[in-house]
Structure 1
């Protein structure tokens, strides 16, 4: 069986990581999986750039051309990603040339695969939702807006007060494009499953919940002292770790909430705790305690060392689907402190493998961090064991790949996937 997975990139960002991992998991099962991308940056087997060299060279200009209509909205939220999908493209022909049995979409925005061309693929389509772009008029994060329930328009992220705007036009485009699709929606979290079932665009399609997977052999517990030695981190201090792509510049990642929570730690503890950050730099002087920047960790071994070195991994995000960082930390046996938002409650059981705080209550998050750092050694061992078991039982890449393999077979046999 040949599933063709589609993602704009093969590396960089949570969706790319999840898609690449699933691709490798499917190949491990014996499937002839192909990962079709716009731009290929690595040498992973079976990854194909399905755009021409000229197209890849011109991509910065094409991206700007697709975003030209956004100039009509000078008051838009420039920190929020809004992706139109109107530009003609022949990428679907290149995907068809790969002879797929099933096309499995992941994150296809940024002018990779236009929505109006999906029906031309001619095979069953599975779409794993990594954000809300498939069910809105163009935004990737709702920020509390419920316009997706009634056709969008008056988009707060565009700063629009008009009933007919780019969001309502994008919504209408989706409505037209989806009518002709043999589509199955896969939601990695209960949160996105709920949004999909609440969406007039998607609720009529089969919607199933399959989480993303993690390689539990690569992400495994490493002796904490050894991990700290390898990364040149201090040995005998409480260490918390935070990591994200552009951690200090993406408001959704909650760096400001992290600083507030760490600043709310009891003073004696705050003077002891050190925070290690990976994924990029953070604004100088904003952290209320000692900080070590690990920079970009480009391989799984370095990431596993960072998680294993930590007493606690902190995920202070405002909105999340099923974050890879939390999954990786759990797989390394590291408890997680986070807000009860998005898909994170699927992963963290408060008091069992981490600490959950009410959304954006920084004092409660600080209390959770302090408890995880200061609890008795026996309890720490229980937390670490429970974290590891959660990853093994629910997020093992082999098991997730098998679930998708079975889904593809069901679709090819003509069966309707069950929720």
Structure 2
């Protein structure tokens, strides 16, 4: 069986990391898998570039311009909207023709157009589509933030100037997506049970199959290691308890850094000794913008894409905090848990599926800096830390190992092939 996983980037972003890990998990378990990407960053022979860089850049710029124009030339929501109005036709590529299954992943920002996806569906090859966010089930957004309009027809979109209208861009794109899938079957896979539940409500996905399979992680790479040695490698303080926050862009409002700042203010006020014995490590771009926000020492690690360095950072820290306002199944929590680091997150999206409250971490009430502070204090100073760490690793080995996830996807692929043969 030959699988072609299609994703915009090879490495950049959570979806790219997850898609790459799935490709490796499949190859390590007897399934031939390749990735087709626009942005190839390594010399990995199992990753194939679209080529035609100028054409790819034009597709990206044209789609962004169309979004920009619809926003009345405002940058505020520029990368929160995707139209898929332009992209590359991949059906003529050798890799496409050789594949038994086409596995779509995150294909936005000029990678594939809705017209191109319809062409893939019309090719007769079975299509599996992993949803790393809710965009395939909505008009134009990747995060609904409790908006329910995608369940009927979209329109009056919060992302558009003046709240849009009943026949605005979000409504029109939703109708195009419905037409794209009309009379065609796609096996949709969500990375969390929460997203599966939300996707099933979509007007676009009515009649389509939707199920959940988590992302995999290589537990031979992400695993517990000596904390002192990890701190020496990363340059983090040896004499403090370290809170870790990580995001590709740490100032992204959706990642909730402001709640961590407020939680640390509360802890510093209530437990003054923590000011001297606690530090906050920030992994990701723009960390310098937060330098003056915390009462605790801030260790700016910047953006890191070397896997071993990332593993060292996790092992150097005592607790990982991700106070996101919306999440699917964050790789960062999975990585921290695999390294034996207890995690804290809000009760949103797929986070409560990963963190078992007070068993391997702490699930805080949504948007509550108070409860976030309680969780940090509990893990650092009150809980049985060794038990939390052991439970974190055990959860990852049971639920997210390469083999367990690969076998679940293999069932989906076989089902997709069987359905194709039945139709024939």
1:305 aligns to what SS in structure 2? helix
Residue 108 of structure 2 aligns with which residue? 109
**Aligned match of 1:359:** 366
Query: 2:20 aligned with 1:13, yes or no?
Result: no
1:393 maps onto 2:395 in alignment? no
Q: Deviations over 1:162-201 (max 9, x none)?
A: 1101100110000000114320111111110111111121
Task: Please say if residues 19 and 106 of structure 1, whose CA atoms lie closer than 8 Å, have aligned partners that are also in contact.
Answer: yes
Q: 1:161 Cα shift?
A: 3.5
The Cα of 1:226 is off from its aligned counterpart by 1.4
Alignment deviations for residues 265-314 of structure 1 (CA, whole Å, 9 cap, x no partner): 13324312101111123213112221001112222211111111111000
Q: Which residue matches 2:259?
A: 257
Question: What CA deviation, in whole Å up to 9, does each residue of 1:125-149 have, x standing for no partner?
Answer: 1111111110111111112211101
Give the whole-Å Cα distance in 2 for the aligned partners of 1:209 and 1:162: 33
Q: Distance in 2 between matches of 1:319 and 1:330?
A: 19
Q: Does 1:25 align with 2:32?
A: no
Q: Which moved more, 1:276-285 or 1:61-70?
A: 61-70
2:188 counterpart of 1:189: no
**Which residue of structure 2 lines up, in the alignment, with residue 326 of structure 1?**
333
2:174 maps to 1:167: no
Distance 1:209 1:60, change over 3 A: closer
Please, which of 257, 266, 274 is the counterpart of residue 270 of structure 1? 274
Q: CA deviation at 1:94?
A: 2.6
Contact 1:76 1:158 in 2 (8 A): no
User: SS at 1:48's partner residue?
Assistant: strand
Q: TM-score, normalised by structure 1?
A: 0.93
Equivalent in the alignment of 1:138: 140
1:45-84 Cα shifts (integer Å, max 9, x gaps): 311112423314545533434435424x457842661011
Deviations 1:224-275 (A, max 9, x none): 1111121121112111111110102x11111111111111113324312101
TM-align CA RMSD: 1.9
Change (3 A) 1:274 1:243: same
- Unaligned ranges ≥5, structure 1: none
Q: TM-score normalised to the size of structure 2?
A: 0.92
Q: Which runs of 5+ in 2 are unaligned?
A: none
Structure 1 Cα separation of the partners of residues 93 and 183 of structure 2? 20
Distance 1:352 1:140, change over 3 A: same
| Aligned positions, number | 412
Distance in 1 separating the partners of 2:151 and 2:75: 21
**1:86 corresponding residue in structure 2:** 85
Deviation (angstroms), 1:117: 2.2
Displacement after TM superposition at 1:93 (Å): 2.9
